[in-house]
DNA sequence: GCTAGCATAATTGTATACAATATACAATTA
DNA sequence: TAATTGTATATTGTATACAATTATGCTAGC
């Protein structure tokens, strides 16, 4: 059995980063919202140093822009940008799954299945919808893990965060059809059967469909 | 005529970042080298706050790893990682040039030509070799600019930095054949003539050849 | 009323000081 | 002696204080 991971040290900067990231992805902070350091530091009960470091990480993740002496503002959303981000996801994820499927073992399949079940839980319990991003990522990640492409994975994770700003999660967890769930299932099946081209096709149409469901934004 | 870019405010954090980035890419800091905050801050004549922020940016760029309470260390190099990085470059840059070429204007061509000339200068004056990364990037960037894919460009720029840690620049600027120069020229010609598939082919073999020329590293 | 210029406030950038944690080594015990 | 524990040192994480820059609003002059 896999041993528990090593303890993860949590710094105030990391905690602040996670909180703010969540707020941006969920839309709590709208585009162009200015993130005032003093104000936020007080609200979170930390000093401005760890808060500034959280802002730098948000910038690195492409969620905010920082201008010297002017501070951080939430990055704008646009249809064109969404298209670019989802296109990039298709390009990278299809490349990954081609490299991953032939190397996947029963352990990989089991991990993906566990991740899928965790993801499906939020369909039943919609109040935990803030976990959508992480759980959806975990499932996708488990499919690509066997490819052993760390650098690519790091880039892709950030891409997912950015894409998730556009996604109306309610549609995906609740909807009568629940296409996302069906597609995830099919995707995993194709991986198990080693059918690379079917997996690629399903992945592409899955990402495309999620993109087609993005809503209004300003 | 294109207007000059907006003034760029330089903070101590940015300056520190640029300096350290240069040192890592050039190999001045070897893999696993520990970047001590106090020591570096003293050397650069700044306090630890801007220096820490510089380290965070290096981490975001994939040049160092930071572990809480342990600090930053220069990321390891490996053949597999190099292959992954160059493969990613091929994947992304070929996609970009397909989208860019049909939209390129005479202004784009002119800009690329200027960038190419700047790049070639270091072949004559090898002592400025530390500019290699930026000038090579500028040329490639000018070829993709017309695609108007900001997010992709941001990711790609960071990829270039990481790839450049593996490249023995001396071979490329001085070598009798000077393949890189010839390939850059051909690439630009294909773009001008609007021959997308030829441009893609040349770009792919150009990146592959640079990869094949990477040297020993530990 | 409008604008330029200045004074003032708000905000970010940086330095210093201290707290928390990790590392190295001495002391202790089996 | 080997393993373990305790202690000192080094290093990072964070808070506070101050400097530099930017935004705001007022007045003077037209």
Q: Distance between CA atoms of A100 and A205, rounded to whole angstroms?
A: 18
| Record: contact B49-A53, CB cut-off 8 A | no
Which are the contacts of A193, defined by CB distance < 8 A and separation ≥ 6? none
Q: Does B76 touch chain A (CB under 8 A)?
A: no
Q: Least CB-CB distance to B151: which of A68, A88, A95?
A: A88
Same-domain pairing of A70 and A85: no
Q: Distance between CA atoms of B1 and B10, rounded to whole angstroms?
A: 26
Same-domain pairing of A96 and A185: yes
Segment B50-93, tens digit of pLDDT: 999 999 999 999 999 999 999 999 999 999 999 999 999 999 99
Q: What is the pLDDT of residue B1?
A: 41
| Record: contact B53-A57, CB cut-off 8 A | no
A39 has pLDDT over 70? yes
Q: Does B136 touch chain A (CB under 8 A)?
A: no
Same-domain pairing of B86 and B133: yes
> How many domains in chain B?
2
Segment B90-143, tens digit of pLDDT: 999 999 999 999 999 999 999 999 999 998 888 777 778 888 899 999 999 999
- B34/chain A closest Cα distance in angstroms: 19
Same-domain pairing of A156 and A200: yes
Domain for residue A6, yes or no? no
Domain for residue A23, yes or no? yes
Residue that the structure tokens 């990954």 belong to: A96
Average the pLDDT over B143-150 and give the result.
98
Which are the contacts of A15, defined by CB distance < 8 A and separation ≥ 6? A44
Same-domain pairing of A20 and A97: no
- Which residue lies nearest D20, CA-to-C1' measured? A69
Order across the sheet with B71-74: list the strands. B34-35, B71-74, B64-67
Is the CB of B36 less than 7 A from some atom of nucleic acid strand C?
A: no
CATH code, domain with A162: 1.20.120.530
Residue A201 backbone class (left: φ over 0; alpha: ψ -120 to 50; beta: rest): alpha
Q: What is the pLDDT of residue A54?
A: 98
Q: Among residues A59, A74, A89, which one ends one of the domains?
A: A74
Same-domain pairing of B52 and B88: no
**A37 CB neighbour count, 10 Å cutoff:** 16
- Nucleotides of strand D under 7 angstroms from a protein beta carbon: 11-17, 21-23
Same-domain pairing of A64 and A94: no
The domain in which residue B18 lies consists of 12-74
Beta-ladder partners of A64: A74
- B137/chain A closest Cα distance in angstroms: 19
DSSP state of A217: -
A2 has pLDDT over 60? no
Domain for residue B3, yes or no? no
B5 has pLDDT over 60? no
Q: Distance between CA atoms of B89 and B208, rounded to whole angstroms?
A: 10
Q: Among residues B51, B74, B97, which one ends one of the domains?
A: B74
Q: What is the 3-state secondary structure (H, E, C) of chain B?
A: CCCCCCCCCCCHHHHHHHHHHHHHHHCCCCCCCEECHHHHHHHHCCCHHHHHHHHHHHHHCCCEEEECCCEEEECCCCHHHHHHHHHHHHHHHHHHHHHHHHHCCHHHHHHHHHHHHHHHHHHHCHHHHHHHHHHHHHHHHHHHHHHCCHHHHHHHHHHHHHHHCCCCHHHHHHCCCCHHHHHHHHHHHHHHHCCHHHHHHHHHHHHHHHHHCCCCCC
**A11 CB neighbour count, 10 Å cutoff:** 14
DSSP state of A177: S
Domain for residue A7, yes or no? no
Task: Among A17, A48, A60, A158, pick the best mutation site for testing chain B contact (most B Cβ within 10 A).
Answer: A60
Average the pLDDT over A122-136 and give the result.
83
Q: What is the pLDDT of residue B7?
A: 61
Q: What is the pLDDT of residue B6?
A: 57
| Record: contact B68-A14, CB cut-off 8 A | yes
Q: Using CA atoms of B21, B24, B29, B33 in order, give the dihedral in degrees to the nearest 10.
A: 90
Nucleotide nearest A72, CA–C1', reads C12
Segment B163-206, tens digit of pLDDT: 999 998 877 766 545 778 889 999 999 999 999 999 999 999 99
Same-domain pairing of A132 and A69: no
Single out the residue of A39, A73, A79, A45 nearest to residue A59, CA to CA: A73
Among A123-137, B145-159, B165-179, the range scoring the smallest mean pLDDT is B165-179
CATH code, domain with B36: 1.10.10.10
Same-domain pairing of B147 and B52: no
Among A73-77, B30-34, B212-216, the range scoring the smallest mean pLDDT is B212-216
Band (B33; pLDDT cuts 50, 70, 90): very high
Domain for residue B128, yes or no? yes
Q: Among residues B74, B94, B111, which one ends one of the domains?
A: B74
Domain for residue B86, yes or no? yes
Q: How far is the CA of A50 from the C1' of D18 (A)?
A: 18
Which are the contacts of A104, defined by CB distance < 8 A and separation ≥ 6? A143, A146, A191, A192
Same-domain pairing of B168 and B187: yes
CB distance under 7 Å to strand D: residues = A 11-13, 45-50, 53, 68-70; B 9, 34-39, 48-49, 52, 66, 68-72
Beta strands B34-35 and B64-67, pairing class: unpaired
Average the pLDDT over A161-172 and give the result.
88
A173 has pLDDT over 80? no
A15 has pLDDT over 80? yes
Same-domain pairing of B149 and B186: yes
Same-domain pairing of A58 and A148: no
Dihedrals phi, psi of B215, to nearest 5 degrees = -100, -155
Q: How far is the CA of B145 from the C1' of C22 (A)?
A: 47
Nucleotide nearest A47, CA–C1', reads D15
B4 has pLDDT over 50? no
A143 has pLDDT over 50? yes
Average the pLDDT over A173-201 and give the result.
87
DSSP state of A195: -
Q: Which residues on A lie below 8 Å from B84 (Cβ)?
A: 149-152
Q: What is the pLDDT of residue B172?
A: 74
Q: What percent of chain B has pLDDT over 70?
A: 93
Domain for residue B1, yes or no? no
Q: What is the pLDDT of residue B176?
A: 46
Residue that the structure tokens 């470059």 belong to: B89
Average the pLDDT over A58-68 and give the result.
97
Domain for residue B181, yes or no? yes
């Amino acid at each position: 059995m896999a041993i528990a991971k090593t303890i993860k040290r949590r710094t105030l900067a990391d905690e602040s980063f996670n909180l703010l990231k969540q707020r941006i992805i969920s839309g709590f902070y709208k585009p162009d919202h200015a993130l005032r350091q003093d104000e936020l530091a007080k609200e979170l009960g930390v000093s401005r140093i760890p808060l500034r470091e959280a802002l730098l990480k948000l910038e690195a993740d492409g969620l905010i822009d920082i201008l010297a002496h002017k501070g951080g503002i939430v990055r704008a959303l646009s249809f064109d940008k969404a298209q670019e981000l989802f296109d990039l996801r298709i390009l990278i994820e299809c490349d990954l799954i081609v490299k991953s499927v032939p190397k996947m073992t029963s352990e990989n399949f089991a991990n993906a299945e566990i991740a899928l079940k965790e993801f499906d839980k939020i369909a039943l319990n919609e109040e935990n919808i803030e976990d959508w991003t992480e759980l959806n990522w975990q499932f996708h990640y488990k499919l690509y893990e066997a490819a052993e492409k760390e650098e690519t994975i790091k880039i892709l994770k950030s891409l997912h965060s950015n894409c998730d700003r556009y996604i109306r999660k309610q549609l995906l967890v609740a909807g009568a059809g629940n296409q996302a769930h069906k597609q995830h299932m099919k995707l995993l099946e194709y991986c198990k059967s080693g059918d690379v081209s079917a997996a690629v096709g399903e992945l592409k149409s899955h990402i495309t469909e999620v993109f087609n469901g993005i809503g209004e934004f300003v």
